[in-house]
Structure 1
Amino acid sequence: MDTTTTTTQVNLIDKIELITDTPMVGELLELAVYEPENNLKISTLYNPYDYSQISVDVIFNTPSGSNLKQSAFWYKQYRDLTLIGEVIDEDGFYTAGQELVRWLDNGFSHYMVRINPTEAGNWTYVMNLTVEGAIVQSMQGSFTVAEPTQTDDGYIRVDQVNKKTFVFDSGEGYTPLGLNLAWWSTTLSSHDYANWFKHMNENNANYARIWLSNWSFSLHKDSYTNFDTRQSTAIRLDHLFETAKEHDVYIMLTLINHGQFSANTNPEWSENVYNEKNGGMLEYPIQFFYNAEAKAAYKNELRYIISRYGYSQNIFAWELFNEVDWVDGYSTIAVTNWHNEMAKFLHDNDPYNHLVTTSYKYTFGTAAYALDSIDFVAVHSYAYNDVKFYEKLVGEQTSLWNNYQKPVLFGEIGIDWQSGTSTYHTDFTGVTIKQGAWGGMMSGAGSANHWWWDSWIAKYDMWYRFKGAGVYAEYLDLTGKTFTALQSSGIQISDTNVKAMGYLLEDSIYGYIYNNNWNYWNRLPATIQNVNIAIGMANGEYQLLIFNTDTGEIVSDTLVTISNQSFVLSGLSITEDYAFILRK
Structure 2
Amino acid sequence: MSFRPAPLPDNPFDDTAFRAEVHFTHESGFHHVVPAFWKIPMDLVDEGHREQEKPRPESAFYVRYRPQKPGTYAATLVATWEEDTRHTVSVPLSPLQVTGAPWDDYVRIDPTDPRFFTINGDFFWPVGINFHSITDIRAQERIGHPGTPMRGTQSYAAYLKRFAAGGGTAAEIWLSNWNLALEWRHDWPGYKGLGRYAQGNAARLDAILDLAYEFGIRINLVINNHGQVSERTNREWDDNPYHINNGGFLDRARDYFRDEQAFYYQQRYRRYLVARYADHPALLGWKLSSEINLTAGGRQDLRDWHEEASRHLAAIDTYGHPITTHWSGDYRTPDRVIVQQEGIDYVCINAYLRRRRDDRNLPHHLWLSTQDPRGNRGLGQFGKPILVTEYGGSHMAASREQLLRDHSIGPWVALVAGHAGSPMFWWFEWIDQHDLWRPYQAVQQFLDQEDLRDQQARATLLEVADPWWAAAWVRPGRILGYLVNIEWANGDTLSGAENVSILLGNDIAAGAMILEWWCAHTGAPTERHRINHSGGALSITLSEAREHHAFKLWRIDATP
Report TM bin, short chain: 0.7 to 0.9
User: 545-554 vs 353-362, which deviates more?
Assistant: 545-554
Pair 1:405–1:479, CA change in 2 (3 A): closer
Question: Which residue of 88, 107, 110 corresponds with 1:159?
Answer: 110
Residues 57 and 127 of structure 1 are in contact (CA less than 8 Å); yes or no, is this contact kept in structure 2? yes
How much does 1:403 deviate?
5.1
2:544 corresponding residue in structure 1: 573
2:178 corresponding residue in structure 1: 215
- Distance in 2, matches of 1:384 and 1:572, equals 33
1:531 corresponding residue in structure 2: 501
- Distance in 2, matches of 1:452 and 1:549, equals 21
2:298 corresponding residue in structure 1: 331
2:456 corresponding residue in structure 1: 482
Report the secondary structure of 2:16's partner residue.
Answer: coil
Question: Which residue of 349, 362, 367 corresponds with 1:394?
Answer: 367
Report the AA paired with residue 549 of structure 1: A
User: Is 1:413 equivalent to 2:391 in the alignment?
Assistant: yes
Residues 63 and 119 of structure 1 are in contact (CA less than 8 Å); yes or no, is this contact kept in structure 2? no
Report the secondary structure of 1:42's partner residue.
Answer: coil
Residues 259 and 265 of structure 1 are in contact (CA less than 8 Å); yes or no, is this contact kept in structure 2? yes
Matches within 5 A, 1:550-569: 550-556=521-527, 560-564=531-535, 568-569=539-540
Residues 252 and 317 of structure 1 are in contact (CA less than 8 Å); yes or no, is this contact kept in structure 2? yes
1:295 corresponding residue in structure 2: 263
User: Is 1:450 equivalent to 2:420 in the alignment?
Assistant: no
- Distance in 2, matches of 1:403 and 1:355, equals 19
User: Is 1:343 equivalent to 2:313 in the alignment?
Assistant: no
Alpha-carbon displacement from aligned partner over 1:118-174 (angstroms, at most 9, x marks no partner): 1123332111112236522322222222326xx955222222333322222x21111
User: Is 1:278 equivalent to 2:246 in the alignment?
Assistant: yes
User: Is 1:98 equivalent to 2:66 in the alignment?
Assistant: no
Alpha-carbon displacement from aligned partner over 1:220-267 (angstroms, at most 9, x marks no partner): 113565435x10110000011001101111111111111111232222
User: Is 1:235 equivalent to 2:186 in the alignment?
Assistant: no
2:483 corresponding residue in structure 1: 513
Pair 1:292–1:530, CA change in 2 (3 A): closer
How much does 1:540 deviate?
4.2
- Distance in 1, matches of 2:226 and 2:261, equals 20
Pair 1:193–1:473, CA change in 2 (3 A): farther
Pair 1:384–1:473, CA change in 2 (3 A): farther
Aligned residues: 520
- Distance in 2, matches of 1:498 and 1:350, equals 47
Residues 384 and 414 of structure 1 are in contact (CA less than 8 Å); yes or no, is this contact kept in structure 2? no
Alpha-carbon displacement from aligned partner over 1:396-432 (angstroms, at most 9, x marks no partner): 32133255332221121232323xxx5354526x110
How much does 1:433 deviate?
0.6
Residues 382 and 414 of structure 1 are in contact (CA less than 8 Å); yes or no, is this contact kept in structure 2? yes
What TM-score results when the alignment is normalised by the length of structure 2?
0.87
Pair 1:153–1:137, CA change in 2 (3 A): closer
Where structure 1 has 5 or more consecutive residues not aligned to the other structure, the ranges are: 1-30, 86-96
Report the secondary structure of 1:368's partner residue.
Answer: helix
- Distance in 1, matches of 2:416 and 2:354, equals 18
Question: Which residue of 179, 189, 192 corresponds with 2:152?
Answer: 189
Pair 1:126–1:416, CA change in 2 (3 A): same
Alpha-carbon displacement from aligned partner over 1:271-311 (angstroms, at most 9, x marks no partner): 11100111211110000001000011111100000000001
2:447 corresponding residue in structure 1: 473
* Percent sequence identity over aligned pairs: 24
Residues 244 and 250 of structure 2 are in contact (CA less than 8 Å); yes or no, is this contact kept in structure 1? yes
Report the secondary structure of 1:117's partner residue.
Answer: coil
- Distance in 1, matches of 2:401 and 2:67, equals 48
1:423 corresponding residue in structure 2: 398
How much does 1:570 deviate?
2.8
Aligned alpha-carbon RMSD (Å): 2.4
1:433 corresponding residue in structure 2: 407
Pair 1:358–1:530, CA change in 2 (3 A): closer
How much does 1:523 deviate?
4.8
Residues 501 and 539 of structure 2 are in contact (CA less than 8 Å); yes or no, is this contact kept in structure 1? no
Report the AA paired with residue 348 of structure 1: A
1:374 corresponding residue in structure 2: 344
User: 260-269 vs 137-146, which deviates more?
Assistant: 137-146
- Distance in 2, matches of 1:566 and 1:475, equals 29
Residues 194 and 248 of structure 2 are in contact (CA less than 8 Å); yes or no, is this contact kept in structure 1? no
Report the AA paired with residue 311 of structure 2: K
- Distance in 1, matches of 2:8 and 2:399, equals 53
2:73 corresponding residue in structure 1: 123
Where structure 2 has 5 or more consecutive residues not aligned to the other structure, the ranges are: 136-148, 187-191, 373-377
Residues 351 and 366 of structure 2 are in contact (CA less than 8 Å); yes or no, is this contact kept in structure 1? no
How much does 1:530 deviate?
4.4
Report the secondary structure of 1:122's partner residue.
Answer: strand
User: Is 1:136 equivalent to 2:114 in the alignment?
Assistant: no
Question: Which residue of 14, 21, 45 corresponds with 1:57?
Answer: 21
User: 436-445 vs 512-521, which deviates more?
Assistant: 512-521
- Distance in 1, matches of 2:370 and 2:512, equals 33
2:237 corresponding residue in structure 1: 269
Pair 1:290–1:261, CA change in 2 (3 A): same
Report the secondary structure of 2:520's partner residue.
Answer: coil
User: Is 1:497 equivalent to 2:471 in the alignment?
Assistant: no
1:13 corresponding residue in structure 2: none
2:138 corresponding residue in structure 1: none
Question: Which residue of 33, 38, 57 corresponds with 1:69?
Answer: 33
Report the AA paired with residue 391 of structure 1: H
Alpha-carbon displacement from aligned partner over 1:12-63 (angstroms, at most 9, x marks no partner): xxxxxxxxxxxxxxxxxxx22244xxxx64134xx22122221111111235
Alpha-carbon displacement from aligned partner over 1:88-117 (angstroms, at most 9, x marks no partner): xxxxxxxxx53233333xx23111111222
Pair 1:559–1:55, CA change in 2 (3 A): farther
Report the AA paired with residue 60 of structure 1: F
How much does 1:557 deviate?
5.1
How much does 1:436 deviate?
1.5
- Distance in 2, matches of 1:252 and 1:530, equals 39
Report the secondary structure of 1:427's partner residue.
Answer: helix
- Distance in 1, matches of 2:542 and 2:412, equals 23
- Distance in 2, matches of 1:63 and 1:139, equals 16
- Distance in 1, matches of 2:99 and 2:511, equals 46
Residues 506 and 537 of structure 1 are in contact (CA less than 8 Å); yes or no, is this contact kept in structure 2? no
How much does 1:350 deviate?
0.5
Report the AA paired with residue 461 of structure 1: D
Report the secondary structure of 1:458's partner residue.
Answer: helix
- Distance in 2, matches of 1:449 and 1:128, equals 42
How much does 1:464 deviate?
1.9
Report the AA paired with residue 156 of structure 2: Y
